[in-house]
Amino acid sequence: MIKLIASDMDGTLLNDKMQVSDENAAAIRQAGESGIEFVVATGRGLSEAKPLLADQKLTPAFITLNGAMVYDEQGNLAVSIPIDDDMTSYSMRLLDERDLYYELVTNHGIFSNSRVRRIQNVADLLVNLNPDTNYKLAVALASARLEIMNINYVDDYTDVVSNPELHVMKIIAFNTADPTALTEPKQLLLKTAKLMVTSSSRNNIEINNIQAQKGIALAKYAKQKGYGMESVMAIGDNFNDESMIRDAKYSVAMGNAVQPIKDLAWFETATNTNHGVALAILKALEVNRGK
């Protein structure tokens, strides 16, 4: 029996307009009525993710920042796994030396040192995840979305990392012009054995504490509910979903997923622009009916 469904957001639950479709929302409600809990597992922070679900009046639990911060259905913080201070300093120095744009995601919001580059990178992500979206429309969508308004813009990251009340939970670095420029820093960061480095797009790398992974967080969440990963469905499309796709018994790759995720998955659903999450939920209901 499937008792919990965890879904990624970008390229998975969200369509090409960065919205939860009516079809996906209806299926999530149907799952709830059938006794299956739905939880979001995203690389986004809560301030970025929650409004997009609220548009459909959905209030699930959230595994955010790739597992670094987990919130229950009431919005209470249940898990917090920041990057160690020395690893934050090392990561920033390594990225600065290579002139790579990056953002700091903290326990009190996201910090960027360039609004223009922030909008550009959100637009690039939209086009990368949804190739049918033209760049001009992507920029308009990126500028209008709530996550742009929830960014804290600073001239220098020094004040962020020196503030004792702020803890860096994730660092996300971008290079749209030459994604291969991210390969070397990724390898160096992984060599520390203290960091997990994944991607939600070919144009970025996401840096977390080694213990902050979607699969680890999802297994802990399921255990708190009284069951194991044999009762869990996980849905995703990219490399930061790998741990939960690997660990869940009922793993689902989106039709638009990268090939390694498809290779790991138990089932392949439709694309994010064709309500793939809704179809995966219907598959879960079939499993529970014994079909």
Closest CA to 286 of 241, 248, 242, 252: 252
Cα–Cα distance for residue pair 210/223, rounded to 1 Å = 20
Which is it for the CA torsion 137, 140, 143, 146, positive or negative?
Answer: negative
Q: Give the integer Cα–Cα distance in Å for 201 and 9.
A: 12
Catalytic hit among 8, 16, 124, 237 = 8
Nearest alpha carbon to residue 52 among 23, 15, 79: 15
Quote the tokens at residue 125. Answer: 């992500």
Question: Is 8 a residue of the active site?
Answer: yes
**In terms of Cα–Cα distance, which of 194, 252, 246 is closest to 219?**
246
Catalytically active residues are 8
